[in-house]
Homo-oligomer: A and B are copies of this chain.
Amino acid sequence: MIHNISFIGAGKVARQLAPALNAAGHKIRQIFSRQAEKATEVAAPIGAQSIADLHQLTASADLYIVAVNDDAIPLVCEKMATVMSHNPLVVHTSGAASAEKIAPYFERYGVFYPLQTFTEKRALSFREIPLCIYANEDRDQERLLAIGHSISEKVFEIDDDQRATLHVAAVFVNNFTNHLFGIGKDILSSKNIPFEILLPLIEETAAKVQELDPTKSQTGPASRKDMTTIRKHLRLLSEFPEYQKLYHQFTIAINERLKKAVKPSN
């Protein structure tokens, strides 16, 4: 079923989600951003109206997607409620914010959270992006699931509690992992070695976990308790006390985790 959809926000999520929904046959009605130019950039290519004032938001849509910073969600919803009286379904796209943030302003609410890291200028195929769906009413849940399936092969029903947990896990595998990449870069810079040399290893690390359990495929000096190498590495990191500390902790943590993993079944 085709839906009429409007976006509040023209940031990284809206920029990719709006064209994907448009390509799936949905009609994108309005794109709001306080920065008129940003709204137009998203709206123009998909035949939507761009607006820079929330008072211009019309009742033309049956689904309103609030894709703004977490902190702005209640403010935006409050303003929206003053201009709309047609009882629409309103969802946000946040991993961290509760769906209940919308509840004071709209009867029908939910979440449409794409679990991915979006970057300006990196177009991603939505077919492979997991969508975490929730609505407070069953019929709306069905609607959102159908919309989700129209753009992605990976649609999950995820409640507030689960989504919060998912978001923490995402921080570990994305934000923290990226920080480790940064550390790798810093360490190499100190010896004038180009970061590029690590890229195939990084690629394979992520490719491997697509097929193999990360516990089973854990390798390295920590997992094999190679004290000679561990001591050598800690010594080498003496000019980076913070990274030395982190190395120490990871070494202990990897051992602890592998010990626990072996206990129950083997």
Contacts and interface: CB of A to CB of B under 8 A. Distances in A.
A56 interface: no
Given A166-B188, A173-B180, A199-B210, 9 more contacts: A70-B229, A115-B201, A117-B208, A154-B200, A166-B191, A176-B247, A177-B177, A182-B257, A246-B249
A119 interface: yes
Interface in A140-193: 154, 156, 158, 161-162, 164-188, 190-191, 193
A51 B181 CA distance: 41
A165 B247 CA distance: 13
B233 A197 contact: no
Given A171-B247, A176-B250, A205-B173, A200 B116 contact: yes
Interface in A181-225: 181-188, 190-191, 193, 197-215, 217-223
A184 B257 CA distance: 12
3 tightest A-B CB contacts, nearest first: A175-B220, A206-B206, A181-B214
Contact of A209 (B124, B190, B202, B232): B202
A263 to B, nearest CB: 14
Contacts of A138: none
Chain A interface size band reads 35 or more
Contacts of A254: 175-176, 179
Contacts of A222: 171, 175
Contacts of A167: 229, 233
B188 A165 contact: yes
A246 B242 contact: no
Contacts of A256: 242
A237 interface: yes
A93 to B, nearest CB: 15
B217 A119 contact: yes
A139 interface: no
A191 B156 CA distance: 14
A129 interface: yes
A71 B232 CA distance: 14
B175 A177 contact: no
A208 B118 CA distance: 10
A83 to B, nearest CB: 27
B168 A237 contact: yes
A151 to B, nearest CB: 14
B154 A172 contact: no
A185 B185 CA distance: 26
Contacts of A229: 70, 96, 167
